[in-house]
Structure 1
Amino acid sequence: MKQDDFLFYSATKIAKLIRNGELTSEQVTKALIQRIQTHDSKVNAVVNKDLDQVLMDAKRADEELKKGLVQGPLHGVPITFKESYAIKGMKTTSGFTPFKEYTTDFDATIVRRLKEAGAIIVGKTNVPPLLMDLQTDNEIYGRTNNPWDLNRTPGGSSGGGAAAVASCFSYLDIGSDIGGSLRIPAHYCGVYSLKPTEHAVPAFGHFPMPYKSKPPEYRSSRHLACYGPLARSIDDLILAFSTITGSDPNDMKVPPLNNNKPDKLNLNHLKIAWMDQLSDVPVAKEVKDHIYRFVEKLKSLGIQTVKIEQFPESTNKVWETWGKMIDAELNSGKPSILRGIEHIFTRNLQKKYPTSSKLMPLTFKNYMKILTQRENLISSFDMFMDSYEMFILPVSVTAAFPHIKKDKLIGHQPIYKNPVYVDGKPMNYWQATGAYTNLFNVLTNPVVTMPIGLNKDNMPLGVQCVGKRWDDFKLLHIVNQLVSEMDMDVPIVSF
């Protein structure tokens, strides 16, 4: 192999080369650090790191291999985590200035599991404040840029992770997603991501809102959020998900999942539904064209594809459910008078964009009603998915767009007056970015985001591949077989 070509390999491949003795963890880690030091000043993706410690960990991994000790399937592989995950001895600020010196003294469950699998931690990747934006910028670490075009956003809130993986600063990153925070950055940066079924991966040690002394008296954020990997190959998603999923005594909602690899699928028996846009949220023509070409490739493999003209559920009802659940759970501790004032000032916005909906008044009865509405939507969508192995649709309405500066904050929520332009026409920032993704935080389905090409500006475009609830592994293996059959390579950023 050419010098440092291995920086562009998948985590699965690099792990095999290290285990076989063709590369050392120290050799790989030194090259990775050199790439970060050379190029990350422009991207600003890996924002919290201890490179001396990383090299010590790499040397230790090599010494263990010499003794015949293999910690796990990621032995000696350098990876990163979203800044909001607790890692013992590292700052965990969630990009929120009041917590810029906050350091955690334990590992999140996902961190512990990946360490036990042999991975070594390069550092943490950048986020927006309290993970509450679909761009990545904060006053502690600054702005993260898209490595394909530094004038554009990598997305958020896992924007630093997607940018790091796309830039080959990390072989694997673990992010989180409450409305598209894994899928949108993957789409904008040209990498893979998995948003698992809700509760498939433990939440313990993930801090969307850090606390300085003792935990809050109750945990309010109980729904919608998911935790999963960003990677340059579908094999890496399978390996990472196999490692991080499964029951955890610190998170009683997480069940054990069946990890059995299915037999090779007969593609002639696959039935896949697809949409190129929602009727009320138009996407750029280039997005539709790429999805159409992708579907044509599926057809050429003998797969039955069915175009869906109308989303199976009322999108307004799904968006309203998302908005009210977010409001009820994240803002439950806010004084009633402040909630009332915010409701008055955002009424017009709520009418126009259902994802801005607020649960007013915030009563037990109203909260139970919105949870029941969600359950009914899930049951109905499950019946739709019974007829299909997968459902394909856009991730967002455009490729990554130029950075947009927020105008103000209402509470911790950024407000954007400047629009995102879709084929020259303005669209509301939140509708343009998250309308296609937050549907599946409500409906809970697993979603693989996969890159399918580059647009005329050489920016990546991806699709959401939606699976049946709790069939995460089956979805991953279906996508893996499709990628193999279509010989689809992830585009690599060239600095």
Structure 2
Amino acid sequence: MNELTYLTATEMGTWIRERKISAEEATRQAFQRITSLNPELNAIVAHDEKAAMEAAKLADKEIQEGTYRGPLHGVPITIKDSFSTTGLATTSGFTRLKGYIPPRDAAVVNRLKQAGAVLLGKTNVPPLLMDMQTDNDIYGRTNNPWDLARTPGGSSGGSAAAVAAGLSYLDIGSDIGGSLRVPAHYCGVFSLKPTEGAVPATGHMPGFEGTADYASSRHLACYGPVARSIEDLAAAFSIISGSNSNSGLPHGPQPLPPSSMEQPLHIRWMEELPGYPTSRAIREQLRQFVKKLEQRGMRVEQVTAPPLDVRKAWETWGKIIDAELNSTTPALIRGLTHLMTLRLSREIPSASMLVPLTFKNYMRVLTIREQLIRSFEQFMTDCDLFLCPVSCTTSFPHMAKTKMVGYQPIYKQPLFVDETPQNYWIATTFYTSLFNVTGSPVVTMPIGFDEQGLPIGIQCVGKRWRDRDLLKGASTLYSICPEWLAPAFS
């Protein structure tokens, strides 16, 4: 059973294609595992076993008839509960959407089904995806399979927990500030945040139709896979990326084909940002990893100065988020909120608001973002990959909110980076949100553990639109790591 449970998605796809196991058997065993382990984990929050079994039987029938749809044909997968799915509730963790069933599949869901994947169910999220822990009033809290008393992260916390615990072979999540990368780091799995625009957003966070005659969240957000291998990330990306055929409109340039990356790889790395330390265990694991790269003959260069103006990047992230998600808030309320949060924004620049919210100011902040993108791309011109931490700590014990301001959770108690108290949002998102501003593709991969046995991941950052080069390079780097380990919980 464990042999089947921890096959990678592409390995399971090969087994199904070669008829070592049927898609029906694989799906049935996945549901048996969900029944056994999910009550403690609470990673999968909605499923339709009958529909999944029918899809698995169809996948087997097609293979018997000589039709093979690709590496995920017949493979049981899950989807984050923010992507629309016909026949399955899609709530985004928001109580007003409890029981909401969308009329159509999201673009990425449709593509995965067309590729023969079998949808097991939906994975848990925080309300409106606005937290780095996964807990909501509809489904409750998701636990980390490495330690149930700790968080799997957010907002793709259910995604990472399900994949790490062997409840799913692959999941698709979203990321506007670290929501793919932080859970992958906390749960010891892999994720890909593609170049912004490489994967269509159609069908993400449905159920708000009619509340505005335009789409918010135009920038920063990305959509990508969570998996147990880089090969799985590449297989999923090849399926879900590309122009948005659902709307007939191009969503962005096509990701470029792999280039012939020079060998040895030229890698730059940074163990922490000045003023925002990471834990000793994270620094030590990153140093050991880099040393192994040097021993393999790779050209490794440590940098101490950040590759872009980080404070300006965090402020830009906050202002874009504020402008796009809060554009319908009355000006008076925005002004009062700005005055009340001035002190907070000085401590946490990503909490900055765009005040006054005018077209001129909005265009100005987008121009600043373009300058930051150029700055980072210039830094990447003569190197292949940039390595840095995902966040300041490993997974932390579940933490209660101090209060809610609108839909935004507030945490006044600190997280501890070793013995040093650090603000919750700084400790969780400051290393990840930088690359939402640059729009860069990022692979998160596990490289070791801390002294408590909790996973440690790193961000492996590539050049914009060079997602396939990034995946190829990350695979080369990961080949020096020990074999992937499953959590003891499972």
* Same fold, TM-score > 0.5, yes or no: yes
| Shift of residue 74, structure 1, vs aligned partner | 1.1
Detail structure 1 runs of 4+ shifted over 3 Å in the superposition: none
| Shift of residue 487, structure 1, vs aligned partner | 4.8
Equivalent position of 1:396 in the other structure: 391
Kindly report the root-mean-square deviation, in angstroms, between the aligned alpha carbons of the 2 structures. 1.3
Equivalent position of 2:327 in the other structure: 332
Q: What code does the residue aligned with 1:21 have?
A: R
Equivalent position of 2:207 in the other structure: 210
| Shift of residue 262, structure 1, vs aligned partner | 4.5
Equivalent position of 1:374 in the other structure: 369
> Is 1:232 aligned to residue 228 of structure 2?
yes
Deviations 1:110-161 (A, max 9, x none): 1111111100100000000000011100000100000000000000000000
Q: For 1:280-359, what aligned pairs fall within 5 Å after superposition?
A: 280-359=275-354
Equivalent position of 1:53 in the other structure: 51
Answer yes or no: is the 8 Å Cα contact 2:373–2:438 preserved in 1: yes
Q: How many residues align?
A: 487
Query: 2 CA distance for matches of 1:4 and 1:492?
Result: 10
Equivalent position of 1:222 in the other structure: 218
Q: What code does the residue aligned with 1:368 have?
A: M
Q: What code does the residue aligned with 1:381 have?
A: F
Unaligned runs of 5+ in 1: none
> Is 1:24 aligned to residue 19 of structure 2?
no
Q: Identity across aligned pairs (percent)?
A: 52
Instruction: Look up the SS of the partner of 2:307 in the other structure.
Output: coil
Answer yes or no: is the 8 Å Cα contact 1:397–1:422 preserved in 2: yes
Instruction: Look up the SS of the partner of 2:322 in the other structure.
Output: helix
Answer yes or no: is the 8 Å Cα contact 1:4–1:31 preserved in 2: no
> Is 1:111 aligned to residue 109 of structure 2?
yes
Q: For 1:249-260, what aligned pairs fall within 5 Å after superposition?
A: 249=245, 250=247, 251-259=249-257
Query: 1 CA distance for matches of 2:488 and 2:346?
Result: 44
Equivalent position of 1:491 in the other structure: 485
Q: What code does the residue aligned with 2:456 have?
A: L
Instruction: Look up the SS of the partner of 1:133 in the other structure.
Output: coil
Answer yes or no: is the 8 Å Cα contact 1:230–1:237 preserved in 2: yes
Given the alignment, which residue of 172, 188, 193 partners 2:170? 172
> Is 1:434 aligned to residue 419 of structure 2?
no
Deviations 1:356-410 (A, max 9, x none): 1000010011111101111111111111110210000000001000011111111
Equivalent position of 2:81 in the other structure: 83
| Shift of residue 4, structure 1, vs aligned partner | 4.4
With normalisation by structure 2, the TM-score equals 0.97
Q: For 1:48-197, what aligned pairs fall within 5 Å after superposition?
A: 48-197=46-195
Answer yes or no: is the 8 Å Cα contact 1:342–1:410 preserved in 2: no
Q: 1:63 to 1:384 in 2, by over 3 A?
A: same
Query: 1 CA distance for matches of 2:68 and 2:309?
Result: 50
| Shift of residue 257, structure 1, vs aligned partner | 2.5
Instruction: Look up the SS of the partner of 2:35 in the other structure.
Output: helix
**Once structures 1 and 2 are overlaid, which stretch shifts more, 120-129 or 3-12?**
3-12
Q: What code does the residue aligned with 1:5 have?
A: E
Unaligned runs of 5+ in 2: none
> Is 1:472 aligned to residue 467 of structure 2?
yes
Q: What code does the residue aligned with 1:489 have?
A: E
Q: What code does the residue aligned with 2:217 have?
A: S
With normalisation by structure 1, the TM-score equals 0.96
Answer yes or no: is the 8 Å Cα contact 2:256–2:467 preserved in 1: no
| Shift of residue 61, structure 1, vs aligned partner | 1.5
Deviations 1:225-267 (A, max 9, x none): 00000000000000000111111142533222234x455x554
Query: 1 CA distance for matches of 2:52 and 2:262?
Result: 44
| Shift of residue 214, structure 1, vs aligned partner | 3.5
Query: 1 CA distance for matches of 2:211 and 2:53?
Result: 34
> Is 1:275 aligned to residue 250 of structure 2?
no
Query: 1 CA distance for matches of 2:9 and 2:320?
Result: 36
Query: 2 CA distance for matches of 1:368 and 1:123?
Result: 40
| Shift of residue 290, structure 1, vs aligned partner | 0.3
